[in-house]
């Protein structure tokens, strides 16, 4: 009875709207980041447990891919159902291009991404310089897929669906939904309690000093090994574009907004140059939003605050509207009055 009660609460749309409204008030006040996670602990739990099961039944549309800079780049909660049915944020945090290639293969070959027809699917690759870092897949990506018993993950073979029956699969999803409701709620309460007494939720919040931003980026890149990982990840990005195109999927790339200090650092500069070189080689359109935001529009080292998110969302939705129209799927998706994406 307890489990059934928790599951009913986890399905309550009214309660979810109340929780989301509370999250948005904290986000607008600069107290918290907004992850669009629903009731879950992670944005990615909602993606795995709610979005993927319905992928095969969908009508296609525009799919945004990328790391956390992408998953925190849209305000899909502000869009009507007609838009959300055809514009999808499939960002996954702490990923590089090699992991994104594994994810794309899984979506096409096991989840039915192209069920509506490849001519009705367009992939927008959100590019960010940290995606060329040699992330360990066992830090987040691998455990994410194993978390609910629905998938397995191998760093070489990638993601695989666990062959279980329909009833067991439904049970595993509902169990994950209940766990997400409990852990997500507990996490919200804990974070609210921490901020109420003055604790910062991250040691990178509201840092404006360029020297501190640069020092953080150097630690993240791991300067001694970055050249090797850059080569590997650029090969993976080229393979990702080639794979999607081989399936008949249109591809556009977007350089996502980044802190201005990164523009002076060797590793972000090298990544940008390699991306543009690749784009010229394979005739890939790259839309540059890297300088879209002012420094005051970032909440931390890589993610925007409420004002910055609004601007980025407008630009991305303008792009989505263009691609939907090109596929004959115009749903009225617009960037709420923002400037058109070139």
The packing angle between helices 210-221 and 266-282, to 10°, is: 60
| Confidence at residue 339, expressed as pLDDT on a 0 to 100 scale | 40
* Options 3.60.21.10, 3.40.50.1110, 1.10.10.60, 3.20.20.140; CATH of 2-326: 3.40.50.1110
| Confidence at residue 337, expressed as pLDDT on a 0 to 100 scale | 41
| Confidence at residue 223, expressed as pLDDT on a 0 to 100 scale | 56
Residue 178 has, within 13 A of its CA and on its CB side, a CA count of: 14
| Confidence at residue 32, expressed as pLDDT on a 0 to 100 scale | 86
Sequence-separated contacts (24+) of 7-13 with Cβ below 8 Å: 7/174, 7/177, 7/178, 9/181, 10/39, 10/177, 10/178, 10/180, 10/181, 11/177
Picking from 294, 312, 178, 184, the residue whose alpha carbon sits closest to that of residue 254 is 312
Taking only the tens place, the pLDDT of each residue in 249-261 is 999 999 999 998 8
Helix (H) or strand (E) run with residue 251 in it: strand 250-255
Q: Low-confidence residues of the chain, pLDDT below 50?
A: 335-342
Taking only the tens place, the pLDDT of each residue in 56-100 is 998 899 999 999 999 999 999 999 999 999 999 999 999 999 999
Geometric angle at alpha carbon 58, from 7 and 70, rounded to 5°: 80
| Confidence at residue 338, expressed as pLDDT on a 0 to 100 scale | 41
Sheet holding 121-127, edge to edge: 87-89, 61-65, 121-127, 250-255, 286-288
| Confidence at residue 211, expressed as pLDDT on a 0 to 100 scale | 78
């Amino acid at each position: 009875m307890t489990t059934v009660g928790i599951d009913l609460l986890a399905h309550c749309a009214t309660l979810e709207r109340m929780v989301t409204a509370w999250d948005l008030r904290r986000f607008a006040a600069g107290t918290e980041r907004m992850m669009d996670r629903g009731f879950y602990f992670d944005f990615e739990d909602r993606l795995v447990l709610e979005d993927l099961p319905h992928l095969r039944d969908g009508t296609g549309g525009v799919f945004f891919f990328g790391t956390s800079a992408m998953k925190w780049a849209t305000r899909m909660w502000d869009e009507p159902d007609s838009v959300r049915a055809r514009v999808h944020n499939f960002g996954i945090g702490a990923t590089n291009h090699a992991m994104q290639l594994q994810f794309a293969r899984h979506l096409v070959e096991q989840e039915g991404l192209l069920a509506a027809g490849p001519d009705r699917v367009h992939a927008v690759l959100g590019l960010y310089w940290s995606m060329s870092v040699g992330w360990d897949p066992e830090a987040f990506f691998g455990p994410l897929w194993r978390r609910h018993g629905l998938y397995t993950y191998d760093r070489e073979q990638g993601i695989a669906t666990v062959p279980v029956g329909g009833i067991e699969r439904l049970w595993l999803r509902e169990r994950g939904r209940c766990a997400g409701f409990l852990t997500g709620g507990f996490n919200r309460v804990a974070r609210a309690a921490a901020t109420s007494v003055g604790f910062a939720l991250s040691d990178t919040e509201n840092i404006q000093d360029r020297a501190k931003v640069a020092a953080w980026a150097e630690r993240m890149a791991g300067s001694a090994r970055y050249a090797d990982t850059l080569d590997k990840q650029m090969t993976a990005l080229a393979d990702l574009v080639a794979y999607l195109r081989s399936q008949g999927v249109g591809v556009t790339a977007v350089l996502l907004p980044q802190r201005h200090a990164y523009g002076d650092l060797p590793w972000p500069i090298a990544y940008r140059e390699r991306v543009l070189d690749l784009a010229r080689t394979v005739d890939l359109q790259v839309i540059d939003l890297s300088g879209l935001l002012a420094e005051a529009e970032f909440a931390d080292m890589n993610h925007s605050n409420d004002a910055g998110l609004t601007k980025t969302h407008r630009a991305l939705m303008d792009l989505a509207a263009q691609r939907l129209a090109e596929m004959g799927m115009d749903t009225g998706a617009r960037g709420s009055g923002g400037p058109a994406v070139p």
